[in-house]
Structure formats: structure tokens, C-alpha cells
Structure 1
Amino acid sequence: MELGWLLWGAAVLLLLHFLMELSPAVNFALRIGFYCLLCVLASALTAPVCLLVNGGRTVKNMRIIKNVVKTFKYFFGLKFEVKGLENFEVEGPAIIVSNHQSILDMMGLMEVLPDNCAQVAKKELMYTGTVGLIIYLGGVIFINRKSTSSAKIVMAEVAKTMAAENVKVWVYPEGTRNCTGDFLPFKKGAFHLAIQAQVPVIPVVYSSFTAFYNPKKKLFTSGKIKVEVLPPIETKGLTADDVSDLTDRCFHTMRETLFKLSGRPKEAKDSS
């Protein structure tokens, strides 16, 4: 009986391997399914550790979560090349802004996440089972993207928390995932927050995933991701009147860096 189960298991694995080689769609679905399963299982196993070590919801749990998530890249054949980590070494709080490409961003985030840094995320993520539990325990700040007034209240509280607890805050200024190889226009919330709190903005740019990950083409293979942490942009002395200029400055600086890291030719940039 045991031999029969082993044979059946081997046959299923061989069939899956054959289908993955034969069909990009099957390969994509299986890899995404495995990634989601890995997130659920890792969250379920890590949550009790966070509770035992730190006693509940705190940004300190991100160090534990980070060490777990950093192992995910080995399952998917992803390599990270990181530059500029020293730019995180600013005194006091800061706003960190980065591009947001896909559900795989969590791996990139944890690869460089500095200590004592909270992320801003949509409120819906709080209700995603064990994944929602672990990001809640990690001190993630949830906002309601459908309610502008609610989001503004939360961000005002974030400004107070940054000053009181000396934490950095990670924000995706595009506001949603974007796997086009370019940037969406930046929303101004993060830059309002930086000026309100008079803290520097630290841009972080990840190279485009499109060469190895593209949901529209059902593409998901191994690949290399370049990450660059850019020098902090000071906001001391700036006022609400400077928000648009600060937003544009970050957008253009980060966009140029994205093209450089992704090896996108100059003529492609100029025509977009």
C-alpha cells in the first residue's frame, strides 16, 4: 500500500513537472499557488513566535518576519543585488517611498527593510487570514483607500507616531500594484506626511520584474532584481506649498533610476 502511494505521488510530481514545462499558464498558476501557500504557512508558524518574543503588535516583530520571508527567494530562484543601504542610516524618523509591482514585492521589501520601520497598507489586507494576522502583529499601518478623510486622519496619526516612537514609515506612492515596467503617477499623501513631520524622504527603487514575472503573459520564472536605496531628500523648512515639487522630484529621480536598473534604453524612455 505504501509503495502504491509513493508511485502515485511520483507520477503526480512527474505530471506536474511535464505540465509546467509544456504550459506557461500551468507553470504560472502553480508557482503563484505555491507562493500563496508559502505565505499562509509561514504566517501561521511565525505569528506564535512574534507573540512569544514581543508579546503582541509591535514593529519589532518585523525583524522576525523579515528573517522568515528572506528565505522565500530560494524557492523561486530569485536573486537580489542591493546598493545604497547606508542611505537608511539617518537620525530619527523618515518616509521611505518605493515602487509597487506585484505580490512578490514582499520579498523585495524584506530584503532591505531597516529596523524600526512600519509599512502603510490597504485595510483589506488585515482580513486575509494568517497573512493578515502576521502583518497586523508586525505593526503595519492600515488605511482605507476608499475614504480620503479616513486616510488623512490615519496619516496625521502616523506623523505623531513617527515623532513619538522614532520610527520610519514605508509607503508605496503609486497607491496600487503596477507591473508595466514604468511608474504610475505618485499620490501626494506620503509627501504631505514628510513635510508635515519635517522628516527626510528616502526613495527605494526596484528594477522591473517584467523579464521574469508578467501576469498578463502568464510568465513566472527565476530572475534577478536590482535594488537601489537613493540618498535622503530633506524636507526641513518646506511647507504644504512645496508638496507638488517634492512629489515631482521624487517621481523623476526614481523613474530615471528604474530605467537605469532595468536596462531600459533611452529612446524607450523618451517615447513614453
Structure 2
Amino acid sequence: MKNCGMGTFMRSRRFGSYFDAWSGLDLGAQSQVVVKGELEGKKQKTRDNVYVEDDGWLCVLISWIRIVVCFVSMMVTTLVWAVIMLVLLPWPYQRIRQGNIYGHVTGRMLMWILGNPIKIEGAEYSSEKAIYICNHASPIDIFLIMWLTPTGTVGIAKKEIIFYPLFGQLYVLANHLRIDRSNPAAAIESMKEAAQAIVENNLSLIIFPEGTRSKDGRLLPFKKGFVHMALQSRRPIVPIIFTGTHMAWRKGSMHVRPAPLTVKFLPPIRTDDWTADKTEEYVRLVHDVYAKNLPDCQKPLQR
């Protein structure tokens, strides 16, 4: 990877080897990586992305235990990095880097605890200075993004995130970006300031273009924000395709199932020659890329 320093180490093969000593995971800088998770009470064919659901009481109990362990573990790492962020208050960029390292450690740890088998494709595109966009249908998407986005990446969230206990405060301390979605004029100005900050500090951006989480895993219409960010920053767009996460942790459910997951980084879409008068066209273009690469059960319904 192009990024250097502690953040890259956390995502590197050496760190993977260290993690293997107790997790059984092995993430390398290869285009395809398979992470095998422990499955309980279910027959699974990872080659065909087929698994047999088991909603028996034992599986539900194990799922609840995993979720509780995830929550407690995340609270511990969040507290540790909150202290680090407070020490680094005078150095905003270092706080961004530390926020990414927190994500690499915490995201990978949470995915290990949940135990889903994960296949990662196109990892060679995961070190670009770019605008990373992802489809969103599950809390697991957040864990994966925390783990896999490169050091030097900031996110954009609604300003109310600061009220989320502990995690929201760490988000702000990590110098990530917030926008006021209730005020269109303020939101546009916030996006301009965010684009300027990304360029001036040589950062990448991560954003969910649907703007909200899909209830059934099917792709929702895209908002225009990511195109506006591309027009102002001239960063390429790297689509990240998540498949299976909506089956693993369904919206409104507290039962995490061991469904196989795939994370696919697509080649960067260059935006150097994009013009503001074609915004709608670019939104459709990128949306079509997702529709083409998602399985039938996640493709958008035809209207």
C-alpha cells in the first residue's frame, strides 16, 4: 500500500500474522483474500455463497453473546483512542490518522468476533487517494469500512453524531467531517469546506451515496453529494461493493447470521473531466456500476 506509518502496519500482512496468533485471520495485500470465520450450527458452501439458516435458540444465544462482546470490545478500544485523541488535540492530521488506526484495529476485531467468512477482491485499489463509496444495508458495513479504508481517510456524517455516546465524541475528536442536513444551504457550504479540507490535507473520503441504510439489501437511489465532492476535489471515485451483509445482520434484528460476505473494490472512476452540468448523468453512471456488480437479490427494483 502507498500509505506508510502505523495505520498501514495495522492493515498489513505483518499485522495479519500477529492477529493470526489468536484469531485465525490472514489479510494480505492481494486482490483476493478469504477470511474464514467460525460457524456454529450451520452448513455452509462458501464457494457458492449459499448457507443454510438456523434460527434455533442455541444459534440465537451465540449471536447475542457475539454482539455483547463486540459492544464491550468497541467501548474499550474507543476509550483507549479517546485518550490518545485528547493528547493529540493540537495536531488535527495526527488525529485523523489515529482515527483510521482505531478503525483498522476495531473493525477487524469486530469482524473476527462476528465470525463471518469474508472474501475481499480488488484490494489493489484500496490505497488510492480517492472518494470511496459503498452500498449500505447493515451495521456490518460500518465495521468493514473502519477496517479496510486506508490511513488518511475521513468520513462525512450528520452533525448529530456528536450525541452518540462515546463513539460520536471520538468521531469529532478524530477530526472527521460533519454536515447539517436539516439546512440545505448550510449542507452545501459544509460540503465545499469538506472538499477543500480533503484537497489541502491530501485526504481520502468515505461516503454512503444512498444516504441511508437499505431495509432489504436492495440498492437505493444515490444522492448527489459524492458527485459534488468529486467535482470540487477532483478525486477519483472508488466503488466498494458489499454483498451478503444484509443477510448477515438484517435491519431491526439482533441476530447476526454467519452468511458469507464479499467486499469488492472496483477500479477508480476518474473525474478529472467531469462538469457540473452533467451531475445527474454521473449519478446514474455510478449507480449503474453498482447495479451491474450486485447479485440479483441486491439489485434495485425496476420502476
Q: One fold, TM greater than 0.5?
A: yes
Aligned positions of 1:29-108 closer than 5 A: 31-52=66-87, 57=92, 58-69=95-106, 70-90=108-128, 93-108=129-144
Matched, 1:113 2:149: yes
**What are the ranges of 5 or more consecutive residues in structure 2 without an aligned counterpart?**
1-54
Partner of 1:178, secondary structure, is coil
Is 2:218–2:297's contact at 8 Å kept on the other side of the alignment?
no
Compared CA separation, residues 223 and 234, structure 1 to 2 (3 A): same
Aligned positions of 1:216-227 closer than 5 A: 216=252, 219-227=255-263
Compared CA separation, residues 148 and 27, structure 1 to 2 (3 A): farther
Matched, 1:214 2:250: yes
Counterpart residue type for residue 180 of structure 1: D
Partner of 1:220, secondary structure, is coil
Q: Deviations over 1:230-265 (max 9, x none)?
A: 111111122111211111111111122222xxxx37
Aligned positions of 1:229-268 closer than 5 A: 229-259=265-295, 264=296
How far apart are the structure 1 equivalents of 2:109 and 2:254? Answer: 24
How far apart are the structure 2 equivalents of 1:23 and 1:173? Answer: 37
Is 1:54–1:61's contact at 8 Å kept on the other side of the alignment?
no
Shifted more, 66-75 versus 27-36: the winner is 27-36
Deviation at 1:31, TM superposition (A): 4.8
Is 1:87–1:229's contact at 8 Å kept on the other side of the alignment?
yes
Partner of 1:177, secondary structure, is coil
How far apart are the structure 1 equivalents of 2:124 and 2:259? Answer: 25
How far apart are the structure 2 equivalents of 1:148 and 1:30? Answer: 42
Counterpart residue type for residue 63 of structure 1: N
Partner of 2:136, secondary structure, is coil
Compared CA separation, residues 147 and 25, structure 1 to 2 (3 A): farther
How far apart are the structure 1 equivalents of 2:223 and 2:96? Answer: 25
How far apart are the structure 2 equivalents of 1:271 and 1:153? Answer: 34
Is 1:54–1:60's contact at 8 Å kept on the other side of the alignment?
no
Question: Identity of aligned pairs, percent?
Answer: 23
Corresponding residue of 2:18 = none
Partner of 2:133, secondary structure, is strand
How far apart are the structure 2 equivalents of 1:265 and 1:175? Answer: 20
Counterpart residue type for residue 84 of structure 2: V
**What are the ranges of 5 or more consecutive residues in structure 1 without an aligned counterpart?**
1-19
Is 2:218–2:301's contact at 8 Å kept on the other side of the alignment?
no
| RMSD after superposition | 2.8
Counterpart residue type for residue 39 of structure 1: M
Matched, 1:137 2:156: no
Aligned positions of 1:185-196 closer than 5 A: 185-196=221-232
Q: How many residue pairs were aligned?
A: 246
Deviation at 1:27, TM superposition (A): 6.3
Deviation at 1:150, TM superposition (A): 1.6
Partner of 2:139, secondary structure, is coil
Higher helix share: 1
Partner of 1:223, secondary structure, is coil
Counterpart residue type for residue 122 of structure 2: G
How far apart are the structure 1 equivalents of 2:110 and 2:90? Answer: 25
Asked which structure has the greater CA Rg, the reply is 1
Deviation at 1:55, TM superposition (A): 5.6
Deviation at 1:229, TM superposition (A): 0.8
Compared CA separation, residues 79 and 123, structure 1 to 2 (3 A): farther
Counterpart residue type for residue 81 of structure 1: K
How far apart are the structure 2 equivalents of 1:37 and 1:125? Answer: 20
